[in-house]
């Protein structure tokens, strides 16, 4: 129902990549949440609609965190870009298996 508000083209650009780390795996097991790297201008409703459209699951809530880019020193000093990550809480009993979706 919420996918009609946003263009399909925009929703395809919202999710950049799944965030796969020890913390992400722990959160997925404990809280039935999946963590995504998302576009910096993405909103919670857009993220929810994008996940529901791409993975055919129902989403309960979306929490968003802005991650500051690291400052790197040394010969080539500079800074990495800031980025945004989304904690997507799925409805009970639903999951997104990235290992299976890559092969299919």
Q: Tell me the pTM.
A: 0.82
Tally the C-alpha atoms within 13 A of residue 59's C-alpha that lie toward its C-beta: 27
Lateral strand order in the sheet of 59-67: 15-18, 33-38, 83-90, 59-67
Going residue by residue through the chain, which has 104 residues, state the pLDDT in tens, using 9 for 90 and above: 445 678 999 999 999 999 999 999 998 888 889 999 999 999 999 999 999 999 999 999 999 999 999 999 888 889 999 999 999 999 888 888 766 654 44
Please enumerate in sequence order all residues whose Cβ is within 8 A of that of 66, keeping only pairs 6 or more positions apart, or say none: 40, 82, 83, 84
Radius of gyration of the chain from its Cα atoms, rounded to whole angstroms: 15
Full set of structural domains in the chain with CATH: 2-71+81-92 (3.30.70.330)
């Amino acid at each position: 129902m919420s996918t009609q508000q946003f263009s399909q083209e925009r929703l395809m650009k919202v999710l950049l990549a799944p965030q796969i780390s020890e913390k992400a795996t722990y959160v997925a097991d404990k809280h039935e949440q999946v963590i995504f790297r998302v576009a910096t201008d993405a909103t919670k409703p857009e993220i929810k609609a994008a996940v529901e459209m791409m993975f055919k699951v129902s989403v309960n809530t979306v929490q968003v965190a802005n991650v500051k880019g690291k400052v790197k020193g040394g010969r080539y000093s500079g800074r990495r870009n800031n980025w945004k990550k989304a904690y997507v809480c799925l409805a009970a009993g639903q999951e997104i298996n990235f290992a299976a979706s890559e092969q299919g």
